[in-house]
Amino acid sequence: MKFRLPKSQLTQILDKASMALPTRSTSSILLGLLIEIEENGRMKITGSDNEIRIEQTLQLTDFEAGKIVLPGKLFVNIIRSMPDEEITVTCGEDHVASVTTSRSSFRIAALDANEYPLSDPYIDDKKIIIQKEKFINMINKTTFAASRMDSRGVLVGALLDIREDQLIMVALDGFRMVVIRSALETASEKPAKIIIAARILNEIVKLIASPDFQEETIEIGFNEARKNAQIATENLKVTISLISGNFLNYESLLPSQFATEAVVEKESFRRGIERAALMSTDGRNNLVKLKFAGDSLKITAKSDSGNLEDSFPIVLRGPDIEIGFNSKYILDGLKAIDTDNLIFSLETSIKPCTITPEETGEYTYMILPVRVS
């Protein structure tokens, strides 16, 4: 096997495929990148951790057909270290790969490509099409609320609730929940619900947000029965294993009525919470207290080192209320709100509240309060 490519071009495709490499694995073959060159010069580089499989393809002009597996991170680092010129990679029957330029040369041990796991057959059952920027926006504003504990099952993922002309993405971890809605480019034939791991969605963002990803829309094919999904373009194929299980009925978790609503200027509030977070180390809840009263919002926080009191004007509808929250959870939610003003909707000091943008109803951030004495 042999191929020759400029360093910049090889680096670009390796960066994409290597996103799927596992951090650690009991299988040494999965720590490698599969490189396959067909007789017509079509080269495919594959990385996989058995949950996400990224295949990047490229047409070669200077090549010899064959296939090998090279140690993924080592190979990527070697290519990055090379001079900025054409790089030649060759591998013979001795399974030792040579990586050379006019000035540098590496020899690295290759693995048998026949041992690399085959991908599960993907059969397109349903698909949706959504604007790329909308999809990126939905992921960025959702996945932070998914659980990071593998023991939480489906909660490590985000739910994609597919309606006729709308995609709803949901993530929750038991303390807060995000629900975001966006229109689809084409109507879905049938409603469906699939769950994709938050970490995989974040990797997808890195792929499709790169400058060389030219498509303006994303087509997501999926098969609920086979529990897999795929995003494919001419030169890139991302196959994803869906999470099995039933997601919580998020609609039943959203409060249906509120006694108090407050319109709050976002930046003033954010800066106030950031100041409060400096003093919100009372216990392990990062507790800040919010008192909505009259035409002002008062923020208080305390620790063994001192305390903070802050206040600013609001527009209040309904009775006064005092409530406590984890400051980190509030700040996480504020990062996802783009409007100048936000709306706090509250029922009591012990029931979940929601934070929404003032101008649009497409985003809802629900957060559980911390009991305060």
Q: What total number of domains does the chain contain?
A: 3
Give the pLDDT mean for 84-94.
Answer: 93
- CATH number for the domain including 308? 3.10.150.10
Half-sphere exposure of 137 (CA within 13 A, CB side): 15
DSSP characters for 95-111? -EEEEE-SS-EEEEE-B
Which three-class secondary structure state does DSSP give residue 180? strand
What is the reported pLDDT for 281? 66
Query: pLDDT digits over 130-160, tens only?
Result: 999 999 999 999 999 999 988 889 999 999 9
Q: Give the global pTM.
A: 0.91
Residues 233 and 259 in one domain: no
Q: Are residues 131 and 187 in the same domain?
A: yes
Instruction: Identify whether 147 is part of a domain.
Output: yes
b/e burial code for range 285-311 (CB count within 10 A of at least 16 → b): bbbbbbebeeeebbbbbbeeeeebebe
| pLDDT confidence band for 116 (50 / 70 / 90) | very high
- The answer to whether residues 78 and 154 belong to one domain is no
Residues 195 and 278 occupy one common structural domain: no
Structural domain includes residue 70: yes
C-alpha 273/C-alpha 282 separation (Å) is 15
Provide the pLDDT for residue 114.
93
Residue 372 resides in a domain: no
How would you class 40 by CB atoms within 10 Å of its CB: exposed for 0-12, middle for 13-18, buried for 19 or more? exposed
Q: Which of 251, 275, 308 is the last residue of a domain?
A: 251
C-beta of residue 49 within 8 angstroms of C-beta of residue 20: yes
Same domain? 150 vs 245:
yes
Average pLDDT score over the chain: 92
Residues 42 and 96 in one domain: yes
Q: Which domain holds residue 57?
A: 2-115
Residue 282 has pLDDT above 80, yes or no: no
Is residue 283 scored above 60 in pLDDT? no
Indicate whether 220 belongs to any domain: yes
Q: Do 133 and 240 lie in a common domain?
A: yes
Rounded distance, CA 326 to CA 109, Å? 51
